Amino acid sequence: MGHEDAPTAWEERAAGQATPFRDVRVTGRLAVAGLLLAGAAWVVRGVWEARLALAGEPASGPPDQGGGVHRPLTALEDSYHLVTSLGGGAVLICALLFLSWVVRLRDNARALSGRASKYAGIWVYAGWIVPVVNLWFPRGIVADAFRGSAPGRRLPASVNVWWGLWLLGMLSGVGIVYEDSTDEIIARAYTGVWPLLASDAAVVGAAVAGAFAVRAVTAVQVARMREAAAPRLPQPV
């Protein structure tokens, strides 16, 4: 990440005292990797949905026949189940890596600003799943940590792009958060694939924008920690 690869100046002060900061460079890199992994998984998912649309629905109808009856899956439908399962695993890995980064980001922001975070720690996790608050809490937590790290600095635009695309993918009902079963998604691909592909594009865009946001926020905090940990020269009398 450019200048982030320099030695960790905040590990110890010149006087040999340990600093209160936690290195966010590694967790930031891992979070970026997790986001790109999830984005790649959704690209593959979109490709499979396009393949389903091009293949067309079998004469036997959709996989879910209604009334609890499910016909045997075709080879393509079966592979789509595998793709969605692998995609779910990629999203889980991404979530764990991203949350690990956010936790360290908040801790460092608190040490730099000397004030408590605006959001209680439980919201780092619950903020993603509690209805209504999940529309703004996760972005708010990242923004609050950024402002605590660099007061007066403008929030990177990538943070807002990431969150806007995430909401678009989530609220579309066919993105990462949805209630339909995989078989129902397959039926949608047969009858109208474009909403699915639009939602996939939003999720992929959110992953890419999120990677840029993590890099930008991490870089600003690392610079502030270096500044705070640098030895202070005695002032001339």
The mean pLDDT of the chain is 87
Share of the chain above pLDDT 90, in %: 64
Q: How far apart are CA 219 and CA 24, in angstroms?
A: 9
The predicted-structure confidence for 166-212, as pLDDT tens digits, reads as follows: 999 888 766 555 567 888 899 999 999 999 999 999 999 999 999 99
- Structural domain boundaries in the chain: 20-62+73-229
Q: Where does residue 151 rank: exposed (0-12), middle (13-18), buried (19+ CB within 10 A)?
A: exposed
Q: How far apart are CA 56 and CA 35, in angstroms?
A: 32
> Residue 236: its pLDDT value, please?
56
Average the pLDDT over 122-127 and give the result. 94
The values of phi and psi at residue 216, to 5°, are: -65, -45
- With vertex at residue 73, the alpha carbon angle to CA 69 and CA 78, rounded to the nearest 5 degrees, is 130
Closest CA to 30 of 201, 210, 220, 202: 210
Q: Which two tokens stand for residue 93?
A: 């890995």
- With vertex at residue 164, the alpha carbon angle to CA 163 and CA 165, rounded to the nearest 5 degrees, is 90
Closest CA to 83 of 182, 195, 170: 182
Q: How far apart are CA 56 and CA 1, in angstroms?
A: 45
> Residue 207: its pLDDT value, please?
97
Which strand (E) or helix (H) includes residue 70? strand 69-70
The predicted-structure confidence for 74-118, as pLDDT tens digits, reads as follows: 999 999 999 999 999 999 999 999 999 999 999 999 999 888 889
The residue type found at 172 is: S
> Residue 12: its pLDDT value, please?
46
Let me know: does 189 contact 215? Beta carbons within 8 Å: no
Q: How far apart are CA 54 and CA 131, in angstroms?
A: 36
Q: How far apart are CA 107 and CA 114, in angstroms?
A: 10
Q: How far apart are CA 118 and CA 106, in angstroms?
A: 10
The predicted-structure confidence for 143-158, as pLDDT tens digits, reads as follows: 999 999 999 899 999 9
The number of CA neighbours under 13 Å toward the Cβ of 97 is: 23
Q: How far apart are CA 166 and CA 209, in angstroms?
A: 10
